[in-house]
Structure 1
Amino acid sequence: MRALRILLITAVVLGGLFVAADRLLLSYAEQEAAEKVRARQGASGTTEVSIAGFPFLTQVAGKELERVDVTVRGVEASAGGRRMVISEMSAALRDVRLGGGFSSATATTATGTARISYADLAKAVEEDVTVAYGGNGKVKVTGTVDIGGRTLSRSVVSTVSLVDGGTIRVRADEVPGEGIPMLENLIRQKTDFDREISGLPQGMELEKVQVEEGGFVITVTGRNVPLTG
């Protein structure tokens, strides 16, 4: 009986040490991965990495992680050839394969969201144009034009859609002409625009776009997405 008790105590102690070591190495791996992801994407903000599954050491031994959650803030991208910042991108990466020497990692599949604020989007559109939330899933776009020596500013409510798998399209639902010849066309030249989004992590593609009070929320998906390396 005493021998059994000693064996049980030893098992509990060893199990506790294993769990402690597992969690310690997990924390270190998450920090290292976050630094590599941040450097890879050239992010200006913080980067967070969370590795799911237990035990971590067993997954490492098999060189495959079942799920890794990544959040990157301040991702530099471009829209229509102009620099733009994605304020936050979060993704759930599944079946992450670890490379030799653990210097690289690639996710078999990935799903997530990218958030673009109206202020950042405005930097990628024409001058004298502002973009704001218009309510009911639409945006309000304000443009300024010159007609016959007069400067006119008009705001329109616009619908946002995703076309060609990577381009955000903004189109005014209606532009009041007010009896001024060519006014509608001139306003639309300012307020209607397409912006192709590039600079996303390799392997990630735009799936759909939604309009919220804080900005655009874009669903992204991907396959064979490099996490590091």
Structure 2
Amino acid sequence: MRALRIGLVILVVLAGLFVAADRIAVNLAEDEVAKKLKGELGSASSGDPEVSIEGFPFLTQVAGKELDKVTAQVKGVTAKAGGREVRLSEVSMEATDVALSDNYSSAVADHATGTVHLSYKDLSNAADEGVRVSYGGKSNSGKDQVKVSASVTIPLVGKTIERSVYSTVSVAGGKTVRLHADEVPGSKIPGIEKAIREKIDFDRTIDKLPEGLKLDKVDADKDGVDLSMEGTGVHLAG
């Protein structure tokens, strides 16, 4: 009986050591992934990436070259959008069934989802000079609105007017953010709607999205705009 108790104690101790070694290994791996992500972003990121590798045991996942789930979050990412530099306030992503290959230098997720958060300041910087994007409150139907304001010079008369309109934010082609005014005040005046839309309606295509990940939905609120993204066969590295 004493021998059995000693055997059980040894098993418990060994299990504890394995768990400790496993957690140390996963922490080291998370740090390495974060460093690599930071290196790829370079000066495009103002913050250190936060990476979490889930699933237990981690060492068994590494041996099988497939990770159950990897999550990452980066704040203050600078991307190119329509030839302009645009700050993405926060980018977060969750990838599942991540296959590792090429001596662990390549990682492809079977499925991944994520969110890109754009503040209204971010959106204003992405717009043309003199265009301001802000929260427009709730519509009569209770939907959150985006307000776009700009000074526009009217053709023919050469008069400059200030106009604010409510716009819809949508995504197109998987990587493009689109702002389009729902209605333009004074549109019956010849040339005014065209002049205003040329100023406030715009598309911006965002780079730095991993291959296989596409923008698919937009939600706006008082804090900014959240772009949801999803994809399969998403290339995370390599």
TM-fit CA distance, 1:60:
1.1
Counterpart position of 1:34: 34
Counterpart position of 1:97: 99
SS of the residue corresponding to residue 126 of structure 2 reads coil
The residue correspondences of 1:67-78 to structure 2 (distance < 5 A) are 67-78=69-80
TM-fit CA distance, 1:58:
1.1
The residue correspondences of 1:106-145 to structure 2 (distance < 5 A) are 106-135=108-137, 136-145=143-152
Counterpart position of 2:206: 197
Counterpart position of 2:51: 49
SS of the residue corresponding to residue 206 of structure 2 reads strand
Amino acid at match of 1:191: I
Quick one: which of 145, 149, 156 aligns to 2:165?
Answer: 156
The Cα offsets for residues 116-152 of structure 1, whole Å up to 9 and x where unpaired, read as 1221122221111000111232210001023445432
Number of aligned pairs?
A: 229
Distance (Å, rounded) in 2 between the aligned partners of 1:161 and 1:218: 9
Q: Does 1:10 align with 2:10?
A: yes
TM-fit CA distance, 1:104:
3.0
Which has the higher mean CA deviation after the structures are superposed, 33-42 or 142-151?
142-151
State the superposition RMSD in angstroms. 1.9
TM-fit CA distance, 1:202:
2.4
Distance (Å, rounded) in 2 between the aligned partners of 1:224 and 1:39: 23
SS of the residue corresponding to residue 39 of structure 1 reads helix
Q: Which runs of 5+ in 1 are unaligned?
A: none
TM-fit CA distance, 1:180:
5.4
TM-fit CA distance, 1:56:
0.8
Counterpart position of 1:219: 228
Distance (Å, rounded) in 2 between the aligned partners of 1:29 and 1:161: 37
Change (3 A) 1:168 1:48: same
The Cα offsets for residues 72-125 of structure 1, whole Å up to 9 and x where unpaired, read as 222232222211122211111111112243233221221111111221122221
Distance (Å, rounded) in 2 between the aligned partners of 1:107 and 1:2: 49
Which has the higher mean CA deviation after the structures are superposed, 1-10 or 82-91?
82-91
Checking the alignment, whether the CA contact within 8 Å between 1:37 and 1:227 is kept in structure 2 is no
Checking the alignment, whether the CA contact within 8 Å between 1:177 and 1:183 is kept in structure 2 is yes
Counterpart position of 1:24: 24
Quick one: which of 165, 174, 187 aligns to 1:165?
Answer: 174
Change (3 A) 1:179 1:203: closer
Checking the alignment, whether the CA contact within 8 Å between 1:168 and 1:197 is kept in structure 2 is yes
The Cα offsets for residues 155-198 of structure 1, whole Å up to 9 and x where unpaired, read as 11111222233322222222221875433332222122222223
Amino acid at match of 2:16: G
Distance (Å, rounded) in 2 between the aligned partners of 1:53 and 1:178: 58
Distance (Å, rounded) in 2 between the aligned partners of 1:140 and 1:87: 19
